[in-house]
Amino acid sequence: AQSVTQLGSHVSVSEGALVLLRCNYSSSVPPYLFWYVQYPNQGLQLLLKYTTGATLVKGINGFEAEFKKSETSFHLTKPSAHMSDAAEYFCAVSDLNAGNMLTFGGGTRLMVKP
Amino acid sequence: NAGVTQTPKFRILKIGQSMTLQCTQDMNHNYMYWYRQDPGMGLKLIYYSVGAGITDKGEVPNGYNVSRSTTEDFPLRLELAAPSQTSVYFCASRTGGNEQFFGPGTRLTVL
């Protein structure tokens, strides 16, 4: 069974500072990995995904993530936080054996201080 | 395209009541999913469907039923509502490129 662990349920950064949200996964097969963002009272929106190929993936809103197989990690970063980045972020791994169902981490709430 | 739409947005049920959460997508996706989101727990898969007439259980199917008579619609049925089913429910559909699109959610409270 696959699992996803997001270290830190809450992360607080100052505006303009680096954003680093951590994600580690376990998977018995090469994974598809995703980061989703959820703004208050809204559904989930895809930020970026890794399937195959280049291990550094760029997404929307200036976010990027690097797939590191040796560390089973897929951490999300953004060089400079903006107030509008305040939201909840979910890392997910796709299970090809179950209709490509997504297994989600518990989420990390990002707070951005002015 | 409207994408994935869900109705209702909010609902309060009494214990033992039944209801159907509606989900419709206009992207002609074969794969559709129902998740529930509990605070601090991420999303858990309830049921999924790989096409019209085909459904299967996810991680937490107990207390729920689904049907898929058309490509567009994937309703979720709660037969005997229990307080443990208080949650936010999300429907999603998937592209061939494995990207899932989520609806805005239904917030359900069972009292």
Cβ B43–A44 below 8 Å, yes or no? yes
Longest Cα separation, chain A: 44
Calpha distance B47→B57 (Å, rounded):
5
Calpha distance B50→B59 (Å, rounded):
16
Calpha distance A85→B68 (Å, rounded):
37
What is the mean predicted confidence (pLDDT) over B19-40?
93
Whether A106 contacts chain B with CB within 8 A:
yes
Q: Residue for token digits 């929307």?
A: A60
Calpha distance B12→B17 (Å, rounded):
10
pLDDT digits (tens, 9 = 90+) for B66-104: 999 999 999 999 989 999 999 999 999 998 777 889 999
How high does pLDDT run on average in chain B? 93
Q: Which of A51, A99, A105 sits opposite B50 (nearest CB)?
A: A99
Is the model's pLDDT at A47 over the cut of 80?
Answer: yes
Residue of chain B nearest A108, judged by CA positions:
B40
Calpha distance B50→B32 (Å, rounded):
7
Q: What pLDDT shows up at residue A98?
A: 62
How high does pLDDT run on average in chain A? 91
Q: What pLDDT shows up at residue A53?
A: 83
What is the mean predicted confidence (pLDDT) over B23-46?
91
Q: Residue for token digits 């349920």?
A: A9
Q: What pLDDT shows up at residue A52?
A: 82
Structure tokens at B19: 């209801």
pLDDT digits (tens, 9 = 90+) for A61-105: 999 999 998 899 999 999 999 999 999 999 999 876 666 788 899
Give the minimum alpha-carbon distance from A106 to chain B in angstroms, rounded to a whole number: 4
Is the model's pLDDT at B40 over the cut of 80?
Answer: no
Q: What pLDDT shows up at residue B57?
A: 94
Calpha distance A107→A10 (Å, rounded):
9
The 3-state secondary structure of chain B, one letter per residue: CCCEEEECCEEEECCCCCEEEEEEECCCCCEEEEEEECCCCCEEEEEEEEECCEEEECCCCCCEEECCCCCCECCEEECCCCHHHCEEEEEEEECCCCCEEECCCEEEEEC
Reported as a pLDDT band with limits 50, 70 and 90, residue B22 is very high
CB atoms closer than 10 angstroms to residue A98: 17
Count CA within 13 A, CB hemisphere, residue A76.
Answer: 32
Least confident span in A50-59, A97-106, B32-41, B42-51:
A97-106
Q: Which of A44, A94, A98 sits opposite B90 (nearest CB)?
A: A44
Give the minimum alpha-carbon distance from B99 to chain A in angstroms, rounded to a whole number: 8
Structure tokens at B99: 């990207």
